[in-house]
Amino acid sequence: MPATAKKRSTAPARRASRPDGDATRLTLIETAGQVFAERGYAEATSKEICERAGMPLASVNYHFGSRGGLYEAVLIAAHQQVIGLDDLMKLVEAIEDPKLKLRTVLTQLVRLATRAGAPWGFRVVLREVMTPSAAMPALIEKAVRPKSQFMLGLVSGAMGLPPEHPTVQRGLIFALLPCLAIMIVPKDVPAKLLPAIARDSDGLADELMRYVMAGLDAMASAQRPEKKAEKTGKKQTSLARPPALATKREKA
């Protein structure tokens, strides 16, 4: 009896699994973020990034178009890593008082700035601020502008003035600058020069909030109609002709 021929399987051959595109992008961004934080954009190379990520050199161009495209993606991720817009919105979604909303967000920024073991995003953003690259416009449009509009709304509510008012826009800068300064200063500097700051981050946040909120209240108060009228009246009085001079001219 002839031997029965073995049937060939009709099932498709199993292909070697390929890494998911999104997962590959995220791995490259994470690895590149660490390299850019250590070396800066000018000194970091695609070769080193791909070697650390365990990927072919062509991966950067394939997923991001160029090293510059990868850096732009890293910058935006770094800004989100510091704190994302969704995180900011969640902080205040259950709060009704406008001043408490602003205080809550600013307090969280101080806590993030003073925590130990800051992620690589802090250093990447700091490097970009100190030495802006061609990616700065993209960072502003895609990451900074949406957060600045959100923060402007908080300051507007706390001051009781419209967002387009120049005083509100200046108030936003004055409110954020101390938080940004704390983020930028290396953590060991306050510990050496001003040890009380390093020891009590909660105290730092509380007193900074008193300082900032009092300043915003004073700025808003100066813009109220009665205050402006009072200022205008004082100016007119100071510009009026002195009585003694007026009398002399009348006699002449």
pLDDT computed for residue 123 by the predictor: 85
pLDDT computed for residue 127 by the predictor: 87
Torsion of CA 236, 241, 244, 250, to 10 degrees: -140
Please report whether residue 235 resides in a domain.
no
pTM above 0.85, yes or no: no
Please report whether residue 183 resides in a domain.
yes
Please report whether residue 190 resides in a domain.
yes
CATH of the domain at 116: 1.10.357.10
Q: How many CA atoms lie within 13 A of 205 on its CB side?
A: 19
Domain count, the chain: 1
Please report whether residue 42 resides in a domain.
yes
Please report whether residue 13 resides in a domain.
no
The rounded distance, in Å, linking the Cα atoms of 71 and 32 is 8
Mean pLDDT, each 10-residue run in order, the chain (252 residues): 46 44 92 93 94 95 95 92 88 96 93 76 85 90 92 97 96 91 72 76 90 96 73 53 49 48
Please report whether residue 178 resides in a domain.
yes
Give the residue numbers spanning the domain of 192.
22-223
The rounded distance, in Å, linking the Cα atoms of 172 and 165 is 11
Token pair 């002839």 in the structure block, residue: 2
pLDDT computed for residue 56 by the predictor: 95
pLDDT computed for residue 229 by the predictor: 54
Please report whether residue 229 resides in a domain.
no
pLDDT computed for residue 125 by the predictor: 86
Please report whether residue 17 resides in a domain.
no
Q: Which residues contact 120 (CB under 8 A, 6 or more apart)?
A: 33, 34, 36, 37, 78, 81
